[in-house]
Structure 1
Amino acid sequence: MALRLKPLNQQTIVVTGASSGIGLATAQMAAQRGARVLLVARDEAGLEQATRDIVAQGGEAMYVVADVGRREDLQLVADTAIEQFGGFDTWVNNAGVSIWGKLEDVRDRDHQRLFETNFWGVVYGSTIAAAHLRGKGGAIINLGSMASDRALPLQGMYSASKHAVKGFTDSLRMELEEEGTPISVTLIKPAGIGTPFTAHAKNYTDREPKLPPPVYRPEDVAEAILHAAEHPRRDLFVGSASKMMSSISNHTPRLLDWIGRRVLVKAQLREEQVRQQQQGTLYEPGGGGRVHGDHPGQTVRPSLYTRAVLHPKSTGAVALAAVAALAWLAAGQGRLRRV
């Protein structure tokens, strides 16, 4: 069977981690473009509000409260999509958590819990989705990270989980392709994204956590995800910083080791002391309903690199127009000087 992905307005899309951040932005954008959306997270209040907002704006959406670290919860999600929508066409494994702290300071159980969400949630979601999509085709889209290619200090186990997600995703893709299964498998690798990510992280340090700049918009990741839902892609970087870090890591890894120890530790901590030990959402849901986070002193900016990758023709036309305009202005200034 040939691999063909439906237009968004003909799709049902499952999105995990959909009560806030990238997942919420993706669900909202997908519904605006005509897709039916099934939102998945642990935070029922956040899911309920997000679903109500989508429906109020004319979209079609439902939600299921689930912990992605439990296979039976995600099987319920798939069964609900089949029962209510007749199935699904794209499954987005987005749910994720993080921990700020040195590896030796973090409790083993916290490390394990992070892997249950970040890695096993992707494994369970991907294999359940593949079982449904095998006979009809569709897309599995997994959220990796810049940390899939390059580890970060103070987020060591998060980095390890994203490396694991990359390895799993690449293996799954090859196995499905070897079978001739019409399923697209895409890994999305964002740089730092301006979501409530730091507020949701468990913090072992004595300082408030922050994302190292540059920080990009959640909507840029949503755009990349929905592009992959319609166009088969192996992987997509979001933010030129992610692409650059991956490329440098392949060629001069020791340079990034030096940057990591000299720059990235301080770059991930705010000046102010932590007010109370931050437990985050590692074990309990909370803080849903917000796409954007609080990143004082940092500019959350659109990724022109990602826009160029997703829309090369239109971006090229804009670039050519800008060059033509500059040439025209330069010529005009020359004429003025001669007069």
Structure 2
Amino acid sequence: MKPTLKKLQDQVMVITGASSGIGLVTARLAAKEGTRLVLAARTEDALRRLTDEINQAGGQAIYVVADVSQQDDVRHISQAAIERFGGFDTWVNDAGVSIYGKVEETPVEDMRKLFDTNVWGLVYGSLEAAKHLRMRGGAIVNIGSILSETTAIHQTIYSASKHAVKGFTDGLRMELELEEAPIHVSLVKPAAIDTPYTVNAKNYMDHELQHAPPAYAPDLVAETILHCAETGQREVTVGGGGKMINAMNHYAPGLTDLFMEKVFSKQTKSDRPAGPRSNNGLDHGNARLKERGNYPGHTRETSVYTSATTHPLVTAAVIAGAGVGLAAWLGRSNSGKASTPKASKESITSTNGNSDAANISQPKVGISTSTAS
């Protein structure tokens, strides 16, 4: 049986892709929980400012300038964590890049470069983490996507990389479980998230791209990552809209194809012309430290589906409590009706007007929550 994971305030956490979007929000939230942090990204200026921000607020963080597509860089991240904190408890593989464009118009060199980061970078990080965590136990949290199960038109290469992430993560988990290694492996699959994802993508289209609705706040993904770091939950989809798309693709793949072709492709097309292609996150990092992107619509700050997935016992208790309350209300209503006196032609029976429903005691609902490990 796998060991119980440490509370966040007792953990050392490695986060790749820590200077932007989901990784940045995760770093800030984890720091507020008291987690000691090892932050990795390609741009030193951004990392230095983020590390200073956390340390000046009373946290503990170091940074490592690293390109996760280079295995030696990933080894340096692990070494820095061991030298500074004596090791780490959770490794979050968040670093990722994206490409927009038709497959036949996307250079193969760019396809390889994307896979080097999104797939091989995650593989290098997972292997480094597994080697270390075999001795002390802990968690590996890999960031996939709802596109680990569905393919988005004009995001084919990115979708393919996220399919690979899911396949690798599932296989690694099974092998570690077979060996009874003390390591939890989680896959977090965000839906459309309002981060600089669309801005940083290398764009081969003739217009700027935007997320198709609904788009969710990156905080929801960060909270899910931290939840997995404490519980080891196997897999979580962030955003009910994404779960619906994947369900549709599972049960009606032809209909999903048609939706992507006729609806999704229009929803992701903005009315702005494409900017300079050189401004992209595939070829180089950036120092902006931005959590959010330029999504023009309403960003959903909550997800009932994700909350229910990450806290199933609380959700079940609330539903059960609501059911008990409804049953009690119906019982009072029916009892009141049953106590209404009936008159007959032979006689009239008097009543004091009291209803048996007044004597029905409300059941106490105890909500007991526990964390699966």
After TM superposition, the score normalised by the length of structure 2 is 0.84
- Which residue of structure 2 aligns with residue 158 of structure 1? 158
The alpha-carbon distance between structure 1 residues 275 and 81, as it changes in their structure 2 partners (threshold 3 A), is closer
The alpha-carbon distance between structure 1 residues 4 and 316, as it changes in their structure 2 partners (threshold 3 A), is closer
Q: Is contact 1:43-1:288 (8 Å) kept?
A: no
- Which residue of structure 2 aligns with residue 289 of structure 1? 289
- Which residue of structure 1 aligns with residue 112 of structure 2? 112
Q: Is contact 2:31-2:37 (8 Å) kept?
A: yes
- Which residue of structure 1 aligns with residue 19 of structure 2? 19
The alpha-carbon distance between structure 1 residues 8 and 273, as it changes in their structure 2 partners (threshold 3 A), is same
- Which residue of structure 2 aligns with residue 274 of structure 1? 274
Deviation at 1:16, TM superposition (A): 0.3
Q: Percent identity?
A: 48
- Which residue of structure 1 aligns with residue 253 of structure 2? 253
* 1:59 counterpart SS class: coil
Q: Structure 2 unaligned segments of length 5 or more: list them.
A: 333-373
Which amino acid is 2:309 matched to?
V
- Which residue of structure 2 aligns with residue 61 of structure 1? 61
Q: Is contact 1:203-1:279 (8 Å) kept?
A: no
Query: Is 1:185 aligned to residue 173 of structure 2?
Result: no
Q: Is contact 2:192-2:216 (8 Å) kept?
A: yes
Which amino acid is 1:273 matched to?
P
Q: Distance in 1 between matches of 2:287 and 2:105?
A: 25
Q: Distance in 2 between matches of 1:280 and 1:120?
A: 20
Q: Distance in 1 between matches of 2:110 and 2:279?
A: 10
- Which residue of structure 1 aligns with residue 232 of structure 2? 232
Q: Distance in 2 between matches of 1:298 and 1:277?
A: 27
* 2:288 counterpart SS class: coil
* 2:153 counterpart SS class: coil
Q: Distance in 1 between matches of 2:319 and 2:288?
A: 39
Q: Distance in 2 between matches of 1:178 and 1:293?
A: 41
Deviation at 1:158, TM superposition (A): 0.1
The alpha-carbon distance between structure 1 residues 84 and 207, as it changes in their structure 2 partners (threshold 3 A), is same
Deviation at 1:287, TM superposition (A): 4.5
Deviation at 1:301, TM superposition (A): 3.1
Q: Distance in 2 between matches of 1:100 and 1:259?
A: 18
Query: Is 1:129 aligned to residue 157 of structure 2?
Result: no
Q: Distance in 1 between matches of 2:250 and 2:118?
A: 24
Deviation at 1:52, TM superposition (A): 1.1
The alpha-carbon distance between structure 1 residues 321 and 179, as it changes in their structure 2 partners (threshold 3 A), is closer
Two-structure CA RMSD over aligned residues (Å) = 2.0
Q: Distance in 2 between matches of 1:166 and 1:282?
A: 21
- Which residue of structure 1 aligns with residue 93 of structure 2? 93
Question: How big is each residue's C-alpha offset from its partner over 1:226-270, in whole Å with a ceiling of 9 and x where there is no partner?
Answer: 111011211111000222222222211111111011111111110
Deviation at 1:4, TM superposition (A): 2.0
* 1:291 counterpart SS class: coil
- Which residue of structure 2 aligns with residue 175 of structure 1? 175
* 1:109 counterpart SS class: helix
- Which residue of structure 2 aligns with residue 243 of structure 1? 243
- Which residue of structure 1 aligns with residue 76 of structure 2? 76
Question: How big is each residue's C-alpha offset from its partner over 1:253-307, in whole Å with a ceiling of 9 and x where there is no partner?
Answer: 1111110111111111101222433541111111431111111234343222112
1:25-40 alignment runs, 5 A limit? 25-40=25-40
Q: Distance in 2 between matches of 1:58 and 1:211?
A: 36
Deviation at 1:321, TM superposition (A): 8.1
* 2:136 counterpart SS class: coil
Deviation at 1:57, TM superposition (A): 1.6
Which amino acid is 1:111 matched to?
M
Q: Is contact 1:151-1:160 (8 Å) kept?
A: yes
Q: Which has the larger radius of gyration?
A: 2
Q: Distance in 1 between matches of 2:110 and 2:182?
A: 37
Deviation at 1:320, TM superposition (A): 7.6
Q: Distance in 2 between matches of 1:227 and 1:49?
A: 26
After TM superposition, the score normalised by the length of structure 1 is 0.92
Q: Distance in 2 between matches of 1:254 and 1:287?
A: 42
Q: Structure 1 unaligned segments of length 5 or more: list them.
A: 332-339
How many residue pairs get aligned? The number is 328
Q: Is contact 2:2-2:183 (8 Å) kept?
A: no
